[in-house]
């Protein structure tokens, strides 16, 4: 079973989570707010989504609930991350919000899959880049919303 778990302030990340769940087939979609490690442990595949706020900050719902991940048993689970950002408005911290999610999963013994190419984006820097790839799917609803659905489809095919 697959779950797409999001933190969303303006609704863009929630909408992207819905698109990912639909493209993935059977998947539950819910907010990290009010979630528990027990609930996350029921799933084989976890897809975490966040936006980046301010200058590289994690979205508030995730910030308040990130500690839940330390109690998740990640053994045998597929874990992936997607992040939303604004590469033109915040070119120095584009999709940085993905970085603390990856760190929390790894600290709890999990492995994150789904690295995504940086090609096709115009930004100056991001903590969510390792080598020449993002640590997860990068989406920009402010400047490249026309690419969101195709990026989701291609990303899920690679998972």
| Residue 120, CB-side half-sphere exposure with 13 Å CA sphere | 16
- Provide mean pLDDT across the span 62-73: 97
- 55 or 119: whose pLDDT is higher? 119
| pLDDT value for 21 | 98
- Provide mean pLDDT across the span 113-122: 98
Cβ–Cβ under 8 Å, residues 3 and 45: yes
pLDDT digits (tens, 9 = 90+) for 94-107: 999 999 999 999 99
| pLDDT value for 128 | 98
What mean pLDDT is reported for the chain? 97
Rounded Cα distance, 122 and 143, in Å: 10
Residue 54 predicted with pLDDT over 90: no
Helices within the chain (DSSP H only)? 12-24, 37-40, 60-65, 98-107, 148-158
pLDDT-based confidence at 40, cuts 50/70/90? very high
**For domain 2-158, is the CATH number 3.40.50.360?**
yes
């Amino acid at each position: 079973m697959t779950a797409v778990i999001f933190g969303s302030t303006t609704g863009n990340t929630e909408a992207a989570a819905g698109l990912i769940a639909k493209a993935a087939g059977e998947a539950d979609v819910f907010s990290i707010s009010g979630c528990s490690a027990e609930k996350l442990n029921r799933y084989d595949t976890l897809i975490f989504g966040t936006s980046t706020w301010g200058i590289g900050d994690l979205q508030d719902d995730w910030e308040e609930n990130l500690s839940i991940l330390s109690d998740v048993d990640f053994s045998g689970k597929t874990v992936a991350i997607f992040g939303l950002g604004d590469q033109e408005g915040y070119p120095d911290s584009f999709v940085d919000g993905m970085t603390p999610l990856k760190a929390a999963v790894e600290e709890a013994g999990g492995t994150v899959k789904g690295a995504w190419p940086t090609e096709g984006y115009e930004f100056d820097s991001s903590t969510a880049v390792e080598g020449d790839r993002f640590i997860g799917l990068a989406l920009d609803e402010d400047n490249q919303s026309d690419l969101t659905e195709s990026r989701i489809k291609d990303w899920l095919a690679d998972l």
